[in-house]
Each structure stands twice: as structure tokens, then as C-alpha cells.
Structure 1
């Protein structure tokens, strides 16, 4: 019992002094720097183009599971790039990397499964104006 109480005290003390950013709520700072509004996402090399209304930048994370409420884990949150892994119970999962080239241009890579089928996306997102 003493070991358990000691462990709880150590964890509490660690929380008081602060934990690494990856253990705290994700900021996803890169996405906050993107211009808000309408964006086109063109899948390379000759894939379809989709249009997104971007409010937070997080709309780029789940390109293949857009309407689902999925659990997310931030793998990397650097000044110019973010990588997020997500799981959508019963529908699959994905891992998306978003690299910012400017406020109006991003490079996207995403792969995972959707309803049992694998997918891999290499795309470019460009700001095109208001939603």
C-alpha cells in the first residue's frame, strides 16, 4: 500500500511541475497558422481534387474518415510539421503528416485503412478563398 501511495505522490508531483508537451493536450501549432477558408486538396499524381472549408486546420487530419468522431494521438508537433495517428472504431485508422510550406500551402501524406481497405494519400492543399 505504501508503494502505491508513493507512486501516486510521485505522479502528482510530476504533474505539478509539468509534463512534456506530447503528454499534454495537443496544440497542433502548425495548423493554427494556416489561413482559414476554402482549400482545395489535390491527390497526386492524377487523383481527384476535393474542397474543404478550413476553420481550424484539423480538417486535413482525417481526409478519409471526415465525418467520423475518431480518437487521436499526436505523434509529432513541430514548427513546420505535424503528424497525427487516429483510430475510428469499426471503420479503420489513419496516420497523417501535414507539412506547412506557407499559410496557404501544405503537403499532406496519409495512410491507413477505411472499412477494411488500405489507403495511401499523397496530396497538396492550397488556399483558394472564402468558404
Structure 2
């Protein structure tokens, strides 16, 4: 009987821990990135473009800038996140963002937009305010 009580106590403690863990924000690493103007530099051709980032989540859909896309979190770690998304009628993408600092990340994104494929590998660096 004492073993049963200990076993039930352990399950009860585990049940209490679950709500605490659930309070941690999904994709919290992206919330640690500084808002502002970010320069995205592609490794393949050295091209650069600037985007105004309100929060790090703006880096998920670089190719599909519209709202209303569904997202599925594949990986959510303290230093790296991967999100797969679908934009009905315009394609899909899968983006991995690896944090090197609050103003520097490594990006990989690939998918389909407008019936054709896209791929991006590069880095994004904060350059100043928007």
C-alpha cells in the first residue's frame, strides 16, 4: 500500500509539472531577437535584402509575407527552431533559424511559392532601427 501511495504521489507531481512547462512560450527563442531592420544575406549569390522585423517570428516566412498561413512547429529549442508552414493557394515552406546572438541568426528556408521552388541559405543580421 505504501508503494502505491508513492507511485500515485509521483504521478501527481508529474501532473503538476506539466502545466508549469506549458507556460513557456512556444518559439520563445525568437522572442529574444532584437526588433529593427535586419539584413538578410544569401550564401548562394551574396545578394542582400532588408526587412523590418517587429519580432523574430517575422523571419519564419521570408518568402511568404502574407498572413493567414498555418504553421507547425517541428523543433523548438533554446538556440534553434524549425517551422513548417502552408499558405493556402500560394505554397509552403520550412524554415530553420539558428540563433548566434540577439542580433545575428543563421537561416535556411525552402519550399514552393507560386508553383515554383525556392531555397534560401544565409544569415540575418540586425543593422539598426526600422
- Flag structure 1 segments of 5+ consecutive residues without an equivalent: 1-15
The answer for the alignment partner of 1:10 in structure 2 is none
Q: CA deviation at 1:53?
A: 1.1
Mapped partners of 1:58, 1:79: distance in 2: 14
- What TM-score results when the alignment is normalised by the length of structure 2? 0.79
2:111 paired residue number: 112
Cα displacement (A) at 1:26: 6.0
Deviation (angstroms), 1:46: 1.6
Report deviation, 1:116.
1.2
Listed one character per residue, the Cα deviations across residues 46-103 of structure 1 (whole Å, up to 9, x for unaligned) are 2421111111111110111012420001111000000000000011000000000011
Residue pairs, 1:31-110, within 5 angstroms: 31-110=30-109
Report the TM-score, using the length of structure 1 for normalisation: 0.78
What is the RMSD computed on CA atoms of the aligned residues?
2.1
For structure 2, which runs of at least 5 residues remain unmatched after alignment?
A: 1-14
Equivalent pairs, count: 114
Deviations for 1:21-52, whole angstroms, at most 9, x for unmatched residues?
Answer: 79x99621111111111110011132421111
Question: Do the aligned partners of residues 26 and 33 (structure 1) sit closer, same or farther apart at CA in structure 2, a change above 3 Å counting?
Answer: closer
Q: Is the 8 A contact 1:38 1:54 kept in 2?
A: yes
After the TM superposition, which parts of structure 1 deviate over 2 Å for at least 4 consecutive aligned residues?
Answer: 16-19
